[in-house]
Structure 1
Amino acid sequence: MSQTSSTAVGVSEPSGDKGRALLEKVWEAFKAADAWPSVDHIDTLLFREGVHLEEALAELSSDLVHGVNWNMPVSVNTGQTFELTFAGAFNCSNSEPETHMYLRLVDLATEIECGIRAPFTARTLDAETLPDLLGQNSLPGDPRVIYRAVLLAGVEPAFSGSSTNIADYRWSLNFDRRIRAFVGVADTALAYWTTRQGLLAPTPPDPVFAAPPQLRMSRTPPFAVSIPLHPEVAAVAAERFENGQHADAVMRAFQAVEHRVQSLSGLPEVGARLMGLALGSATPMLVVTRAAGPSLPSEREGFRDLFKGAMTGLRNPRAHGPHYADDPEEAQEMLAFASLLMRRLDHAEDELNTQAAQAAGTP
């Protein structure tokens, strides 16, 4: 039985048994090899049991698994690896040692960041210092449990990077100021997951974001504009951009767009399919258009394609690799595009609120 059924209602789950079977196969292979398995390997294991990978993936979302380009045929993805998110692992049988260890790593990182573990030296955890920080007797007897928890951390937004060496199970795990969001919430999986999801698209106190001077255009263009980004884009992209993480800033911006479309529409889909379902009919679930009369169909189709293209052309290549080193000028242009999409989603949310008020009879 998975942990979810008894201890963490609210952590993302598969929508059906085939999706759950896929997660279990990934986790079993992961524990057997201490490495994330290939899509091709999992496809074969599922097929032997009469489950088609496409059907299993239809019951999952990016909240549960990384490594799949959701908008391309599965055959294109077979050379990639499946990597489970914390929720994906949490839904699997026999994952409690690793997910519990992962939450301990999050908690330890927040204590270091807040100065509880003194002296503060660096925002890094590693295999050599962990026994001194937590106590040798409190650690799992099998170092592979910790190693697998670190691999799980490598795909979670709480941490900023990791390095591993399976030859001797050595590892290091980096974090930054973002870990402060998890102070006091690593005691339960649900508290962690709720905070983790909010971290992907929070509401910032200051909506204004401008590129630092050293990253602005080095040449004088014939015309230049300066605008504040939409708050939800600035929240996830500003700090990363200022730190020179341009590709990551772009990826997070379009992930925030995707997450907001999911939230407003209530659809469990992702990527281009999500955009097509939410925006693609003559009576779309989300109204992002402002035109009326004969121009309305063209604007509706155009914005549907803009949202879909943002997923397939901008988010996916940065989420699934190879990872681009984006030019800072072009990254700013992509962030402005994400901001435009967010502002159209503001319009869609206003429309939904108006419809709800009319249905409730509110004047």
Structure 2
Amino acid sequence: MDVFISDDLRIKNPNFSRLVDRLQEKIKRQHDTKLNEEHIEAKCSWMTHQVLLLAVKHVLQTHEVKILKGELSTHDAKCWTAVKNLFTINECKAYLSAHKDNSLLGIDEKTLMCTLTNDDKKFITKGKSLLQTEVENYLCKVCLKLSELHDETPAENVKILKSRSFLLGEMLENESEELKQKQTMLKESREDETNAYLTYRETLQSCSELLVTLLKKYWLNLQAKKDRISVKNAWACVENFTAKLRSECFSLKCETYTHQKVEALQRIRLEIEETTKQREFELSDINQQLAHYRQLGTEFEAVAAEYGNVTDHLQKQEWTLAEIKKNTGQE
């Protein structure tokens, strides 16, 4: 009976769900083993019946050929014929018992038994004895042949070979049992290997989780120290760079401001100051002249404006006189 476990329960209780799964597998294996045993027993019974049936058919066919060739005596021929007829009747009876419906020909078991003659009934007992002996001999020969094929080192003595042939079934059964045991051991070893692999994987996973936790803790503990060291290194680099800049500036000043260069710069400065004063004086003179010129321009503009007014007035007077003269001449 299967037990249903939801996914939530499997996630919450993995060990319990694994235990239930293993118990279900064990119960299923036991059930399958029982079914296999019943199947094997039925199969062995059917195979035994088939072997005997084929052996009987082979012996009957062999002696029928001998009867046709005339190799048997009259008494033995009648015995074998009676046994063959009885065997045929039994096969028909087995068919009729397997099929309960009425035969198309209307034949039943009583009709079949009536087909045996009185002569057949007389020789049936002797025929059965002969058939049993011949079947045993035939099976013995088959077993001897199988033992020769099975054993790579056959014995020269016939008695030893026969004893081996009698033990052939047990030998095959033992080999089959050994094969089953080896298969079971192989299956168990594979299961153990799988379980060991699962255990190893779980252990490895837990170890990896612990390692990650330790690394995180180590990182948290040393990160502050690492940051302080990084800041100190950066500050030292900055101070070193600043010192280099100051050194470069001092070297540049030393190279630039020598005694000769300072005197030359002072002379240049004095010359520039004198030139500047001179230019300022010239600029003031120019500004004064420009103011004077501006004043003259203003006066010139006034004179020009007055001149323009006078000129306009004269032109108007001339035009008036011209008009007067023109008018006077016409009169």
Scaled by the length of structure 1, the TM-score of the pair is 0.22
Structure with more of its chain in helix, by fraction? 2
Scaled by the length of structure 2, the TM-score of the pair is 0.23
> Which of the pair has the greater relative contact order for Cα pairs under 8 Å at 6+ separation?
1
Radius of gyration: which is bigger?
2
Structure with more of its chain in strand, by fraction? 1
